[in-house]
Amino acid sequence: MSFRLNARAGEWALITGASSGLGAEFARALARRGYSLLLHGRNAERLEQLVIDLNKVRKLDCRVVIADLAREEGIDAVCQAARQQAGLRLLVNNAGYGNPGLFQDVSVDSLLEMQRVHNEAVVRITHAAMAQLMQAEGAAVLNVSSVAAWLPGRGSVMYYATKAFLNAFSRSLAADLSGTGVVVQALCPGFTHTGFHDPDKAAYLDKSKLPNWLWMEAAPVVEFSLRSLGNGRVIVIPGVVNRIFAWVGGHDWLYRKLVGNARRK
């Protein structure tokens, strides 16, 4: 099923986690394509600045929802906004974060909080948005997952596990929505130049210790995602390197062999 990417008058996109990174890049890309935007985030100052920047390029209708998806009231706020937004045509479930730590050393509350943000919030917001999406002339649900979904991740158990859930959820949701006019995608990027790994974030990485060929810029990742909507594939992986990682990770014997050889060097 093809997907008409450019918006018509009165069509909206809801983006969670829009204050930075891929979420902000999705906002810029969809604003260029004529969408009005319903933007969610926790950082009011960043969202307000994003709206100002977007309006410098094109005047657009824009609503902001400040909410913490790790809290019941935060999920409820975004769900209510989704239900009430007439003309909603595209939902981008992007909100997420990293919080490294060995499973046995991290509190169970912290583990379940990530599950709530990455999984429970996605399910509930998608369900809340469904009535509006199904009224649109062709709509889409886009879940930002990760190539980590195929890999066992020591020190980030819940991150890897919740991304695997997003892939399975997206595939099954696509099956349920077959024939309704709503397409589904799970976008699975790898290392991407966003704020995700910045020094002030829990998922900080020293980028100087990783080769440049591992990384992609945010804009090409978002463009690849949007161009792939409705192409018949639910799981989309930008970049040849990331597709190789997913293929290797999908073959447990090969993954164990490669990792074992690397550790012996």
Q: Which residues are catalytic?
A: 159
Task: Look at residue 255 and give its three-state secondary structure.
Answer: helix
Share of the chain residues as helix, strand and coil, in percent rounded to the nearest 5: 50, 15, 35
Residues 6+ apart with CB under 8 A from 44: 64, 66
Give, to the nearest 10 degrees, the angle between helix 72-84 and helix 121-135: 10
The amino acid present at 241, given as its one-letter code, is: V
The DSSP string of 99-164 is: ----GGGS-HHHHHHHHIIIIIHHHHHHHHHHHHHHHSSSEEEEEE--GGGGS--TT-HHHHHHHH
Assign 3-class secondary structure to 168-193.
HHHHHHHHHCCCCCEEEEEECCCCEE
Tell me how far apart the alpha carbons of residues 87 and 83 are, in angstroms, rounded to a whole number.
10
Give how far Cα 46 sits from Cα of 19, 23, 39, 134, Å: 5, 12, 11, 31
